[in-house]
Structure 1
């Protein structure tokens, strides 16, 4: 390895995925993710089980990332890790491991905000060589967050609007649970919706001031709607699964773009990106392209592997911090409610 190479080890452990990535001179060389199937039978992430699984997974995942990148730990320039937001027990595992390894190797330690990582995933080298230009607006949609973020620079970001209750990803998963679909239900709703009529059943869209979102009312509306229909026909969900999923998904995506359109027009910005786990949703991706052409936007959609939680996005964020020499000491602690700005 060239002695002048900058090699960053990224570590992500904010929720239930343990991930490690090796980045060399700004390019992701390996990106290993270990999922936790243990939560499926509970219908959602169990924090205590998640932290235990991270303890089991983190050493083999880091070893696999280094091996795939053909890099030894002694060649690392720095270690970047997710400090927050996320589940505290999960964050503690990643933070403690990163601090210990950085101390043992006597190399810099870099803390990364998980949500900034999702946004900066757009700067991972890709085949198209297309990257957002500052300033741009990013719609960040995941299981825990839904935000419209004005991105002025790599680490200068302003939240224009966010959910006041459930995140969009949470609304997907809770709806799937109501319908009796296995966890995680969001991708299944997307799958069933492809064969359904998005206008079969009208669901309400919350009308809030500014650019904030609310999805709790939508979830409650679905619950009461299904209870009412199941009294008439116990097989209602089975018979109409595709139409229910399509209508519910249509309402979530319509809600997201309603506020995104307002924000882009008010701020006169035409570089628009999406990020987070729900950015893998097929309707969200296609609507961004359709509305983007209509509004004359330059649109940016991450590769599927960088949508959900992964260490590649932590490594690229760490790389830009490394260039600025923004390091932290061994007294750093995880922050489950870390703010984006």
Structure 2
């Protein structure tokens, strides 16, 4: 708890430090303020600091560093188009580490947006190649690229490759230690979630417990909604999801607001409360569509369709199929086929 409280205190310190800082140091202090706010879960306030850091930068290097920091802050806010605009304008002849970071952010935004997974993979693979060729590259950077490639594999339904990528990210991040703490946590979280999908409950429990412990010890408040979303699948689901939803709402992480709201719908369905399930899933779908999170939106449509009248169910499944086919999401396509078959069987059962 003390570690979690440290980031807001650090943000307050840097905010006060701005009063007497020299012009040559102002951009640096603003970036530190931005990161303190970001790690405290205040991505919106972090955005303001990073944008100001860009504006007062005195050198091209300072401006690029601030631009990349701003792009990082926009990711959890779901502002993927803005991220792509920021990083696509960066000179490709900059320092290789910054070039790799720009490519990573570009690929991540494309992956989360979900419209062009091929382009996302291409940029992430380019980032990985740049990092492996750079003797001064940080392990954390390589871990985050492997992690995001795992996310793309998961979207495409290749859970074996996804888990292998998350394991690679975890190994690299663990070797780097505290400098890669975020990826030590998130790699375990995503492994846990996808092992749950494969029915590997014991392994998933161990991974998410370790992730929660690392996040709490390291004060990573901003990642807690992701962890609580996964942990809710294991036990005390409603309490975990409500806690995660409160944090995601408080810190303006709209993708997790939509995802956890959908999870609450699934829990309600398991409890036999169809009305509540439809409410949560419909709300989550509207949130995902507003955000432009195509993969999440398609998944929610698949969950929601069996609860709707036949005509509306067919519409939702057709929408999900269009998204799944465009991104080569084989696991989603299989799920759509299963739901269609189940609905067809229901329609042919004599009443």
What TM-score do you get using the length of structure 1 for normalisation?
Answer: 0.25
Q: When you count helix as a share of all residues, which structure comes out higher?
A: 2
Structure possessing the higher relative contact order (Cα contacts under 8 Å, 6 or more residues apart): 1
Decide which structure has greater strand share: 1
